[in-house]
Structure 1
Amino acid sequence: MKDKVIVLILVIIMLLNFFDVITDISLGVPMWHVFSESLIVIVSGFGALLLVKDIRSRTLNTVRLKQELVVSDDKLRNISQEMKNARHAYSHVIHGQFEQWHLTLSEQEIAMLLLKGLSFKEISSVRNTKDKTVRQQASVIYSKANVEGRHEFAAWFLEDFMA
């Protein structure tokens, strides 16, 4: 908007000076004065043209960027859906492994909360149990999974993703 106002001002300056040059020529004003005002007309017109060209270029660029943004949003939605599908599939894999380890439903719930990164205190709060109960169940989970602790337990599920 500001650029369009500047273009309008330059065009007005150009037109006013153009009519002033014509008047000065008809009145016999010295040529150096006519030349200097003609130069103002030319520079104003050239500036207006450059500004119009720049506005047009930025407008086309904005349109292109908006189109790219729409395409990117579509790709992101598709990726998000792919991520949801992958998480769902991975969740099935995790639960399948829990069943191979013969974890009880309670142990499976705790194991999943451990994988999500919750502390024993947070898990006990979520499950309305004592902290000691969660610790004991976590020890049973680690034993059934044949791992030493929480970090090795989480790593068991992530190591295949690391190259």
Structure 2
Amino acid sequence: MWRFRSQEVFFVVLLIIITLLTTSDLISDYLEGTEAWHLSIEALVVLMSVGGIAYLLQAFIKRQRELDAIKAQLAQTKDDLSEARQQISAAGQAYSQVIQKQFETWQLTPSEKEVASLLLKGLSFDEIANVRNTKEKTVRQQATAIYRKSGLSSRHEFAAWFFEDFL
């Protein structure tokens, strides 16, 4: 549905009124036998008013078509983004399964798996301890066990082991 702006409506109505009044005056003057130059000026005003109306309507139609095209493009972009999010989510879930499988291969305990996941998310030992309601020392000991079982020597090497193939 087309929506006119109030300014557009105002100017179109104004030009229509000018056109009608000038046309009425032109007919009246013609019937009274007014001079040709006066009739020519009034005819020119009528033509200019009609031209102004046509111009405003054409500009409105053009803007409306552009707006419709932008709306269609926005809808397509939203669809594309939704699809990309679904693909990223699926890839994330698949990669999470790969990570959990590797944890199984390293024979990590359930607590170590949880700590390892939080380490991969970038949490500090203190943050992990708060999340798990344990002491930081316990988290450090579990991290040491994770590094030993994985054959890696540090948090950075541990994270790099999982993310190296992405780079």
Q: Which TM-score tier does this pair reach, normalised by the shorter chain?
A: 0.7 to 0.9
Give the corresponding residue for 2:21: 16
Question: Aligned AA for 2:39?
Answer: V
Question: Aligned AA for 2:24?
Answer: F
Between the aligned partners of 1:134 and 1:63, the Cα distance in structure 2 is 57
By how many angstroms is 1:73 displaced?
Answer: 2.5
Structure 1, unmatched stretches of 5+, are none
Give the corresponding residue for 1:96: 101
Is the alpha carbon distance of 1:107 and 1:33 closer, same or farther for their aligned partners in structure 2, counting shifts above 3 Å?
Answer: same
* Equivalent residue runs for 1:1-163 within 5 Å: 1=4, 2=6, 3-162=8-167
By how many angstroms is 1:86 displaced?
Answer: 0.9
Please say which of residues 102-111 and 13-22 is displaced more in the overlay.
Answer: 13-22
Number of equivalenced pairs: 162
By how many angstroms is 1:126 displaced?
Answer: 1.0
1:102 is paired with a residue whose SS is coil
Structure 2, unmatched stretches of 5+, are none
Is the alpha carbon distance of 1:31 and 1:155 closer, same or farther for their aligned partners in structure 2, counting shifts above 3 Å?
Answer: farther
Per-residue displacement from partner, 1:18-51 (whole Å, max 9, x unpaired)? Answer: 2222223333444444333332222221121111
Question: Aligned AA for 2:66?
Answer: N
RMSD over aligned CA atoms reads: 2.0
Per-residue displacement from partner, 1:100-152 (whole Å, max 9, x unpaired)? Answer: 22221111101111111222222111100001111221222223333342233
Is the alpha carbon distance of 1:136 and 1:32 closer, same or farther for their aligned partners in structure 2, counting shifts above 3 Å?
Answer: farther
Between the aligned partners of 2:77 and 2:66, the Cα distance in structure 1 is 16
1:103 is paired with a residue whose SS is coil
Per-residue displacement from partner, 1:68-110 (whole Å, max 9, x unpaired)? Answer: 3333333322222222211110001111111222221111101
Q: Percent identity?
A: 47
TM-score normalized by structure 2?
0.84
Please say which of residues 88-97 and 11-20 is displaced more in the overlay.
Answer: 11-20
